[in-house]
Structure 1
Amino acid sequence: MTPADPTSYDLITLGRVGVDLYPQQADVPLAEVETFTKSLGGTATNVAVAAARHGMRTHIVTAVGDDPFGSYVRTALRTFGVDDSGVATVPGLLTPVVFCEIHPPDHFPLLFYRLPTAPDQHLTPQHLDPSVLGQARMLWITGGALATEPSRGTTLLAAGQRHHSADTVLDLDWRPAFWDNPQEAPAWYAKALEHATVAIGNQDEVHVAVGTRDPDRAADLLLERGVRLAVVKQGPAGVLARTPTEDIRIEPLPVHVVNGLGAGDAFGGALAAGLLAGRPLHEVIETANAAGALVAGRPACADDMPYPEEITELLHRHRTRPAGAPPLAVPPASRTRPGDDRSTRRTPRHLTEIRAADPERVRRAMNSRPRFDPARFGGPLFLLAADHPARGALAAGGNPTAMADRHDLLARCAEALARPGVDGFLGTADLIEDLTLLGALDGKLVLGSMNRGGLPGAAFELDDRFTGYDARGIQDAGLDGGKLLLRLDPQDSATATTLESAAHAVDSLNERGLLALVEPFASRRRDGRVRNELTADAQMWANNIAQGLGRTTARTWLKLPVVPEMERMMSSTTLPTLILGGEGGTDQDRLYATWAEALRIPQVRGLIVGRTLLYPPGDDIAEAVDTAVSLLAR
């Protein structure tokens, strides 16, 4: 253990490391699993990685074998920002491998390959540096390390070398398979509690430590053993945290569970970070609870530990979740910290992996997505639109190919959708499915874009064929409605085909009880390009044609541009209308003013804006969206 700067550590963890080989097929026994995914694991390791995601300077004391998996462990730790100088190599032993079965929501049996013994069970006092242990702000030890010698004595020695004013956390971490004689465990747990200031465990673990599964009684007994904070994780019953002066109870945060094995360690890393930051205990436990929920909704342990921004977002989604809504879908883990790199901060490479290895997950995510509350149609709406790429319309913000970068586009959409007051999204299937996998569309009004066949500049541009969603696809995907573009040019015969197709689409959506959002324009071809006539008279002509489509207009809404004489133009319809954002420009304040004026017209029920806010001047998406949302009278 020879760190370069021993005074720099916020957290040192001591204990288990391993290589997790988790199945890519759920609800099958281990013998029938076809493929596995490799990731980093082990309680002490996971907690170190989780704390590093919170910006903590972390160091681990553990051991690996002299084998390729040992090299993998060291590289992975460094990649995750954990100092690996305390990782020893034990000749003659192999780095542990762990298999599991995945049976959501609560059955994940483990199979440990740690025989005859694992390298981390051979940690000795020679692997410790007293000066490093004494100066670190927090030490995290585990019950699993107490199962056998010499790791047991080394763990107790490390805890005993700590100053009484610095925190030592005992993670009760009960693994009966590690013990030759499990009946000895309570006595050794008692020895470790003599040195601990914080104790954390689930109900099975506190039962081993203090003889009761009752959370309140267990917390009291842990406090009597001398810890200043006792945390009892209760699964579906939430979390209890108790000090001599505080009693904190946090309800569970319901998510769609994928693999619950790393949740407790994510909780631990967030707990350590919150305690070290000196935050109020209620905030610390609530944040830790959400961190655990995020990892429960993901397939791996260390590799899927969340960043604080992801935790904050999940808490926001939870707090705004309608009563009775299904569990939240969890976005796949980001491989870079949100904010570090726009192209990857919200768009992990796991999207491609999911589509390649488990395409059925797309359907499952769509089916389990929390839906929009129809009662909210009564108020003003704010929707984000991003269906332009499917027509090959990629220009935005002065960049002719801005929307071609799918990772960047998804990151921008996810950021905008996370802002308060954003009610929904309009897009094609590819974007809607990606954003659903990321959890960005939970509880949102989602409209599928239908006719994307009129490619800009093409000879057939006004033949706006239905190459996107159809009404059945919108219904099957659990969306709230469809949007269709209706460009009308009396001099182009393709207009007749588009009109007929649009009428059929309106009928099909209405038959299924779905909203039909029609976007009409009076269009003309000039110099070989189709141009929309943005005048009051031209738009009134187009509006009247659009609102006559189909056998009923009971669920038809219009999507209209801002034009001069806006109030006179809107006198042409009684249909609910969303104002589109337009092309935007450098004068954002003037644009907001035109939207605000339009929103005062009774038929106008909200805004549906895309490139103007996704690629705003100055590139501050949050500020642009927040300003636009503030225009709605709510």
Structure 2
Amino acid sequence: MSVVVLGGINMDLVSITPRFPQAGESVVGTRFLTYPGGKGANQAVAAARMGARTAMVGRVGDDIFGPQLLATLESNGIDLSGISVSPGVSSGIAVIDIDESAQNRIIQILGANDTCGPDEARAVTRSLVRASTVLLQLEVSLDLSLQVADDASSQGKRVILDPGPVRPLPEEFYQVCDVITPNETEAQALVGFPVVDPDSAERAARWLVDRGVELAVVKLGDQGAYYATSEGGEFVPPFQVNAVDSVAAGDAFNGALAVALAEGQDIPQAVRTASAAGALAVTKSGAQDSMPTREEVEGLLRAQPRA
């Protein structure tokens, strides 16, 4: 199976700190790290490590980070023919703080990601000749994402949207997305009420299905996930792991979900597969470095079978 990803390609600048500072406060951190990241690139690596032929479409800047970002994607066997370099622009940057409980706060500078446009739309169209699924996020232009989703949907391809970073979605987006996978914060922004637990996640997932998506999965981090379709829904309990770094867990989830659905797994099993991938991602530091392999995901599914 083949997957094409349109999205952000970032360098993550990561500070590890015992706790987050209050406004106006300085705290002493313990480590500083740089990792290749970006929601799109992370999801491409996740899908590739799950065994999919994967193409990445996006842009990097002509700075010191661009070659590093491309090299990491290439080392994971990802097709880079849809990636361009934007002259005079920095690569996308994510400034990430992580506290001792593995929670994170992120500030994104879109950089070259914000220069994606018609060339990237054409690159996705070329890749869709071979791909069954397109993965989208909101790190590139909303208009571009909507155009690509509409085009892919008209070709009968599966469209999966990770609606982050948070921004309002036009109603027509729900009509051209087959799957939407917000986390709690993103879900709350979309539905307009707090999403903090499985009960509120169920309400949010059903709200999204009512707008037109076939499958809504609300990711609750260490609380698990809730999915809904027009035929019903189910809470998927979390896997038990030792969390180190929660960055990119949702990206691992989405990449694995895309592959599982493309393989023909039924929805309950596909969401469990995705949940296992997300759980494994939090056991390692970094974004793309933490994306699990197919063998690791299958091992966790065997070790913690469905009750």
In which range does the TM-score fall when normalised by the shorter chain? 0.7 to 0.9
The unaligned stretches of length 5 or more in structure 2 are none
Would the alpha carbon gap of residues 85 and 320 (structure 1) be closer, same or farther in structure 2, given more than 3 Å must change? Answer: closer
Query: Secondary structure of 1:209's partner?
Result: helix
Find the partner of 1:45 among 16, 27, 41: 41
The unaligned stretches of length 5 or more in structure 1 are 1-8, 146-150, 176-184, 322-634
Match of 1:249 in 2: 235
TM-score by length of 2: 0.88
Does the 8 Å CA contact 1:143/1:189 hold for their aligned counterparts? Answer: no
1:424-468 deviations in whole A, cap 9, x for unaligned? xxxxxxxxxxxxxxxxxxxxxxxxxxxxxxxxxxxxxxxxxxxxx
Match of 2:116 in 1: 123
- What is the CA-CA distance between 1:125 and the residue it aligns to? 0.9
Superposed counterparts of 1:215-294, under 5 Å: 215-294=201-280
Query: Secondary structure of 1:85's partner?
Result: strand
**What amino acid is the match of 1:211?**
G
Q: Give the distance between the partners of 1:48 and 1:270, measured in 2 at CA.
A: 10
Match of 1:173 in 2: 164
1:315-354 deviations in whole A, cap 9, x for unaligned? 3333599xxxxxxxxxxxxxxxxxxxxxxxxxxxxxxxxx
**What amino acid is the match of 1:252?**
P
- Higher strand residue share: 2
1:349-389 deviations in whole A, cap 9, x for unaligned? xxxxxxxxxxxxxxxxxxxxxxxxxxxxxxxxxxxxxxxxx
Query: Secondary structure of 2:152's partner?
Result: coil
Find the partner of 1:313 among 287, 292, 299: 299
Q: Does 1:199 align with 2:180?
A: yes
- What is the CA-CA distance between 1:313 and the residue it aligns to? 2.0
- What is the CA-CA distance between 1:237 and the residue it aligns to? 2.8
Q: Does 1:13 align with 2:5?
A: yes
Find the partner of 2:132 among 137, 144, 156: 137
**What amino acid is the match of 2:49?**
R
Find the partner of 1:152 among 116, 119, 142: 142
Q: Give the distance between the partners of 2:139 and 2:306, measured in 1 at CA.
A: 39
- What is the CA-CA distance between 1:105 and the residue it aligns to? 2.8
Match of 1:97 in 2: 93
Superposed counterparts of 1:321-360, under 5 Å: none
> Could you say which structure has the larger radius of gyration?
1
Match of 1:110 in 2: 106
- What is the CA-CA distance between 1:294 and the residue it aligns to? 0.8
Does the 8 Å CA contact 1:12/1:59 hold for their aligned counterparts? Answer: yes
Q: Give the distance between the partners of 2:207 and 2:16, measured in 1 at CA.
A: 41
- What is the CA-CA distance between 1:135 and the residue it aligns to? 4.8
- What is the CA-CA distance between 1:28 and the residue it aligns to? 7.3
Question: Is 306-315 or 27-36 further displaced after alignment?
Answer: 27-36
Does the 8 Å CA contact 1:170/1:193 hold for their aligned counterparts? Answer: no
Does the 8 Å CA contact 1:64/1:88 hold for their aligned counterparts? Answer: yes
**What amino acid is the match of 2:92?**
P
Q: Give the distance between the partners of 1:223 and 1:134, measured in 2 at CA.
A: 28
Would the alpha carbon gap of residues 310 and 66 (structure 1) be closer, same or farther in structure 2, given more than 3 Å must change? Answer: same
- What is the CA-CA distance between 1:103 and the residue it aligns to? 1.4
- What is the CA-CA distance between 1:72 and the residue it aligns to? 0.7
- What is the CA-CA distance between 1:24 and the residue it aligns to? 5.9
Query: Secondary structure of 1:128's partner?
Result: helix
Does the 8 Å CA contact 2:42/2:248 hold for their aligned counterparts? Answer: yes
Does the 8 Å CA contact 2:51/2:294 hold for their aligned counterparts? Answer: no
Query: Secondary structure of 1:220's partner?
Result: helix
Q: Give the distance between the partners of 2:186 and 2:107, measured in 1 at CA.
A: 19
**What amino acid is the match of 1:171?**
D
Would the alpha carbon gap of residues 319 and 131 (structure 1) be closer, same or farther in structure 2, given more than 3 Å must change? Answer: closer
Would the alpha carbon gap of residues 31 and 62 (structure 1) be closer, same or farther in structure 2, given more than 3 Å must change? Answer: farther
**What amino acid is the match of 1:292?**
G
- What is the CA-CA distance between 1:93 and the residue it aligns to? 0.9
Q: Give the distance between the partners of 2:36 and 2:286, measured in 1 at CA.
A: 8
- What is the CA-CA distance between 1:31 and the residue it aligns to? 5.9
Q: Give the distance between the partners of 2:235 and 2:142, measured in 1 at CA.
A: 33
**What amino acid is the match of 1:125?**
P
Does the 8 Å CA contact 2:17/2:100 hold for their aligned counterparts? Answer: no
Quick one: higher RCO (CA 8 Å, sep 6+), 1 or 2?
Answer: 2
Q: Give the distance between the partners of 2:174 and 2:206, measured in 1 at CA.
A: 13
**What amino acid is the match of 1:119?**
A
- What is the CA-CA distance between 1:52 and the residue it aligns to? 0.2
Match of 2:70 in 1: 74
Identical amino acids, percent of aligned pairs? 31
Question: Is 265-274 or 127-136 further displaced after alignment?
Answer: 127-136
1:229-284 deviations in whole A, cap 9, x for unaligned? 11011233311111222423211112221111111111111101100000122211
1:22-65 deviations in whole A, cap 9, x for unaligned? 34665576863354332210111111100000110111111111
Does the 8 Å CA contact 2:4/2:128 hold for their aligned counterparts? Answer: yes
Query: Secondary structure of 1:22's partner?
Result: strand
Q: Give the distance between the partners of 2:280 and 2:224, measured in 1 at CA.
A: 15
Would the alpha carbon gap of residues 319 and 139 (structure 1) be closer, same or farther in structure 2, given more than 3 Å must change? Answer: closer
Query: Secondary structure of 2:98's partner?
Result: coil
Does the 8 Å CA contact 1:53/1:306 hold for their aligned counterparts? Answer: yes
1:394-422 deviations in whole A, cap 9, x for unaligned? xxxxxxxxxxxxxxxxxxxxxxxxxxxxx
Q: How many residues align?
A: 295
- What is the CA-CA distance between 1:209 and the residue it aligns to? 2.0
**What amino acid is the match of 1:220?**
R
Match of 1:22 in 2: 14
